[in-house]
Every structure is written in C-alpha cells, then in structure tokens.
Structure 1
Amino acid sequence: MSSSQILGTSCGQPISMFLYVCLYVCPVMRAAATSDSTSTESAGLTQSTRKQEIIKMTEQLIEAINNGDFEAYTRICDPGLTSFEPEALGNLVEGMDFHKFYFENLLSKNSKPVHTTILNPHVHLIGEDAACIAYIRLTQYIDGQGRPRSCQSEETRVWHRRDAKWLNVHFHCSGAPAAPLQ
C-alpha cells in the first residue's frame, strides 16, 4: 500500500496512510513509550474517579425523576436525548417532550415516597468524554391502595461530557416502566 492510498475519510475528506500514521498511530505509540508505572497508577485512579462520577450523575438523574423535578432532569440530559423505554412501546423517542408529559402528569403529582436503588452498576469509559453505564434499577413505592410495592428495570445510559459537564444523551430501559403507575 503506498502512502497516498486512501484509508477512509475524516470530515468527508480522504485520509492517506501517511496522514493516518502521523495523526493517529504516532501519538498513541509516543504516549505508550513515555508512560511509566506512576502514570499508569494515576490513570487507574482517574478512571476509577470518572466511573464514580458517572454513577453519581446517574443517581442524581434518578433522584430528579423520583422527585418529579423536570428542571433538574433537563439540566442533566441533553436536549436531543434519545431513548427506548417501556412507555414508548418499543419506539425510539427523541427530545424532552415525551418525558415532560410524565413529569407534568404523573411524577410531579406523586406525594407518596419513591426509593430507587442502583444495583450492580458497570461503567464503560469511552475515551475522556464519553461513558456508558449499565445497571439494575430497583424501585420501591406505595401503590394507590397504600401497599408497598417494588419494580425492577434493566437500564443502560450513555453519557457525554461537554464543557466539563456530563449529559445523558441516550438511555435504554427494559422491564417495568421506570415511573410506577400509582
């Protein structure tokens, strides 16, 4: 393969082998060659810290849902949030209007306690500014007859950091609806 052969495109422009090696391979190799055990240890600490950040953001998002706080929810979610969830009946939902309906008509009117536990969270870091978390969401609530109930859902959320702020850009929920119908 000559250095002028096309490997792919970047921003619609062709990438030659030479350009690919200069832009992508050399920086990675240089970083690997200059790293030592101290930087490896600090990278591990940084990864652990970032994973904890994602868990914390997920907990804050679920707290906003449980409290019926749409304003807090919109601060944590990207305006173009996409989702697959039981309430959408298998359809991909985009934007905040679908979620706003539930906040205005169900979640904000709920005066009964709701408690959610995130079980077995597993975070995948995808570069510096993206992450994915998968977990079991166990929700305890009081039904319309005053009886305590529990429901479970399996959730995955994709987070993207922009301007030093993590935003939920996509989620997938399987199982029981996230908002228990009272």
Structure 2
Amino acid sequence: MKGRKGTLVFYSLFPVLIRSLFLCLPSSEVGFSSFTICVCLSPVRSVARKQEIIKITEQLIEAINNGDFDAYTRICDPGLTSFEPEALGNLVEGMDFHKFYFENLLSKNSKPVHTTLLNPHVHLIGEDAACIAYIRLTQFVDSTGLPRSSQSEETRVWHRRDGKWLNVHFHCSGAPAAPLQ
C-alpha cells in the first residue's frame, strides 16, 4: 500500500511480527502523511534460531542418554568447560572428565532413560552465540527396577563456528545428570 509520503510494509508471516512494528518518522516532517511502518524480520529469525538452540540441546541430551560419546563430542567444543555435581564444585575443562562417565556408566546402561527439557529459555548473543537455561527432568529405572525421576537446573552456552553450533560451557545444579544406577 503506497501513501503520499510513506509506505506501509507488512508481512503477515507470524503473529510475533505484529509486536515488531516500528513507527519511522522522517526528520524533516512529522505528520500522519509522512510516516512509514516497517516490519522488522529479525524476530522471525530469532524465533527460528532459538528453536535451533533448543533442538541442538535436545540432541546433546539424547547423546548422553544413549551413551553415545562420539555424538556428544561432535556437538561439544574440545575445550568444553563445566561446573557440574559430579565435579564437586570444580571447573572441569576438556572432554576427558566426561569420557569417563560415558565409558563407565552411560554406555553400560541398558535401562531406558527419558529426559524432558522444561521451560527452556534462550538468550541470543549476536549471530554466533547463544545461552539456554532450562530444567532437566530425567526419568529412569533404578537398580531395583523402580521408576524414578531426578531434576537438575542447567545452563549451556553455545557458539557457532563454521555454521555449526558447539556447546562451549555448561553449568548443572541439582541431581547428577546421569542417574547412578
């Protein structure tokens, strides 16, 4: 739609776009006939990127649940840092600490494990970095055969390099990520 001195640009792709309308007034004139309504497409991209971060986080958790260290290392930076219950409050750097749990616990677990990410919240930090915080609810069968649940609070920092998201840091509070069975 073309006005006298303004243009209305509107894309009805998603309801989130309606919240992203901006009124742009030229510096020389202020008046109804001289406005432009612009739709910023970045909210659509940010929603898609946030979904991408949630999905890669779910893939990482699935690799842990399956005891798949190869898949885990493809998703994590080799210099991954973490604070987690298993490290007893110490900052862990690199993959060796995690490899121990994959080799001695996770890969030997034949009992089903199901994890749900509750209330994931993603912060986008520029084009190539993101942070996700969520509750990790893990359901498992304990050594006596009874179903159990554990909960942890996790934050993960992601960095995109060469078009690929890598987990560069995480912090886990609460129960150990891998139920000790």
- TM-score normalised by structure 2 residue count: 0.80
TM-aligned CA deviation for residue 37 of structure 1:
2.1
Partner of 1:37: helix, strand, or coil? strand
| 1:1-182 superposed matches below 5 A | 37-38=38-39, 40=40, 42-182=41-181
User: What is the identity, as a one-letter code, of the residue corresponding to 1:127?
Assistant: G
**C-alpha RMSD over aligned residues:** 1.5
- Aligned counterparts of 2:69 and 2:38: Cα–Cα separation in 1: 45
User: What is the identity, as a one-letter code, of the residue corresponding to 2:38?
Assistant: S
TM-aligned CA deviation for residue 113 of structure 1:
0.1
Which of structure 1's runs of 4+ aligned residues deviate more than 6 A?
none
The C-alpha deviation readout for 1:31-59, integer Å capped at 9, x for no partner, is x99xx723x1x210000000000000000
- Aligned counterparts of 1:114 and 1:54: Cα–Cα separation in 2: 22
The C-alpha deviation readout for 1:74-121, integer Å capped at 9, x for no partner, is 000000000000000000000000000000000000000000000000
| Structure 2 unaligned blocks of 5 or more | 1-23, 26-36
- Aligned counterparts of 2:97 and 2:38: Cα–Cα separation in 1: 48
2:6 corresponds to: none
What is the count of residue pairs matched by the alignment?
148
**Percent identical residues:** 84
| Structure 1 unaligned blocks of 5 or more | 1-31
User: What is the identity, as a one-letter code, of the residue corresponding to 1:87?
Assistant: E
- Aligned counterparts of 1:136 and 1:70: Cα–Cα separation in 2: 23
- Aligned counterparts of 1:73 and 1:146: Cα–Cα separation in 2: 27
The C-alpha deviation readout for 1:104-149, integer Å capped at 9, x for no partner, is 0000000000000000000000000000000000000000000000
- Aligned counterparts of 1:63 and 1:153: Cα–Cα separation in 2: 16
TM-aligned CA deviation for residue 152 of structure 1:
0.1
- Aligned counterparts of 2:159 and 2:47: Cα–Cα separation in 1: 17
- Aligned counterparts of 2:144 and 2:133: Cα–Cα separation in 1: 32
- Aligned counterparts of 2:162 and 2:38: Cα–Cα separation in 1: 30
Instruction: Pick the structure with greater CA Rg.
Output: 2
- Aligned counterparts of 1:61 and 1:173: Cα–Cα separation in 2: 14
- Aligned counterparts of 2:60 and 2:38: Cα–Cα separation in 1: 36
- TM-score normalised by structure 1 residue count: 0.79
